[in-house]
Amino acid sequence: MLKQTVIQHTALAKSGGATRIASLLYEGLKKSRYQTIHSFEASENPGDRLISPEKAARAVPENSIVHLHSSADPAAFLSSLPKQTKVIITLHDTQMITGGCSYPLSCTHFDKKCFDPCPRKFPDSETVRKKNISALLDSEAVIISPSSWLARLTRKADKHISVKIIPNGIPWPENMADKKKARKKLGLHPSSKVVLFIAHGGQSAGYKSGPDWKNYWNMIKTKVPEAVGFAIGGDKNSREGDFLSIPYVDRRMLRQFMLAADVFAYPTLADNHPLVILEAMSCGLAPVSYAVGGVVEQIASGVNGILVPPYEKEIFADKVSNLLNNQRQAREMGSQGFHGGGKKYKNIRMTNNYIKIYDNLAYF
């Protein structure tokens, strides 16, 4: 078999779960029999020019396997690929099966095939939905979902779409790190009770309840007066009492915060198979999350974290507070998450599962 090229394509060169998975696969394939390229349509560097989806697709070499993770216009990208291109698509949210939204949440229009007018004001939502789904089917792509939840939604969007499930994976350390050392590096007292809120966009992250983080914190602080809270991922540094807001930090520094914390508070309103929960588990950090989307496939409530009925804010704050007051239980859950997650969510396993798909495409 000739050595083929696998193109890992994303809309953005940096940030986001789709880009992270594409980058991990890019690195994992370097030691395989496949050449690999990470292509993209835009970066977060102000001086870089936007490349149209059509132009990015037309630049794909012949005899390549294209692995699409995201695009500004997936239908335009797929329809512009060279003929006979073999395609894999990983769905990281619902944008490729809706008229524009990343997650339908409580929108009843998803069940009605996004009939116009769209309540979220996406223009021509039903036309866009039809175009996206037609492109998925016409490309004859292998469709991958990291979660069973999104796979079910995809089949619901169109019964003709076949979906395989490959859970996300990340680099996983062999041993749990020392929490005391991490706290010392951050200047935290060894007995501190530390809770983290994390999301790209910080307190502006709507799907992650970012605008409500301070309300959650106030409820937690009332129940655990000695608690210290960090909100990570925004665009500025600020402090209100024991609640500290921190802008985007690199992955190494984020890991230090996760290692130092007792509880990861993740009041997400919708999610596929979030990498941030896997990252918390890889640090031995117990997550508390709403039982939405693919999160329920990651967290076994009471074992490696806690699931809360969706959008029950007071219950959520209570569960976080109870874990902060019971650090031994939090550590036990963190240990369960670390060891259990290491068996299921290593990036090596994810890469090998994708290589099987590439092999099937390369031979036929």
pLDDT digits (tens, 9 = 90+) for 164-207: 999 999 999 999 999 899 999 999 999 999 999 999 899 999 99
Cα-flanking dihedrals φ and ψ of residue 266, to 5°?
-130, 80
Do residues 50 and 42 lie in contact, with contact meaning Cβ atoms separated by under 8 Å?
Answer: yes
d(CA 97, CA 109): 12
User: What are 277-295's pLDDT values in tens digits?
Assistant: 999 999 999 999 999 999 9
Residue from 230, 275, 225, 288 nearest 257 by CA: 230
d(CA 322, CA 302): 12
Q: Is 122 a residue whose pLDDT tops 50?
A: yes
Is residue 1 very low, low, confident or very high in pLDDT (cuts 50, 70, 90)?
A: very low
What pLDDT is stored for residue 47 in this prediction?
65
Do residues 194 and 230 lie in contact, with contact meaning Cβ atoms separated by under 8 Å?
Answer: yes
d(CA 17, CA 174): 23
The reply to whether 179-344 shares the fold of 5-169+346-363 is yes
What pTM, to 2 d.p., does this model score? 0.94
Residue from 238, 237, 257, 239 nearest 247 by CA: 237
Fold (CATH) for 5-169+346-363: Rossmann fold (3.40.50)
Poorest-pLDDT segment among 27-31, 56-60, 88-92, 331-335: 27-31
d(CA 222, CA 123): 44
DSSP 8-state code for residue 136: H
**For the chain, domain boundaries:** 5-169+346-363, 179-344
As a whole number, the mean pLDDT across the chain is: 93
Q: What is the mean pLDDT of residues 349-354?
A: 97
Q: Is 85 a residue whose pLDDT tops 90?
A: yes
The two structure tokens encoding residue 7: 């193109």
Cα-flanking dihedrals φ and ψ of residue 64, to 5°?
-105, 160
Domain 179-344 carries which CATH code? 3.40.50.2000
Is residue 3 very low, low, confident or very high in pLDDT (cuts 50, 70, 90)?
A: low
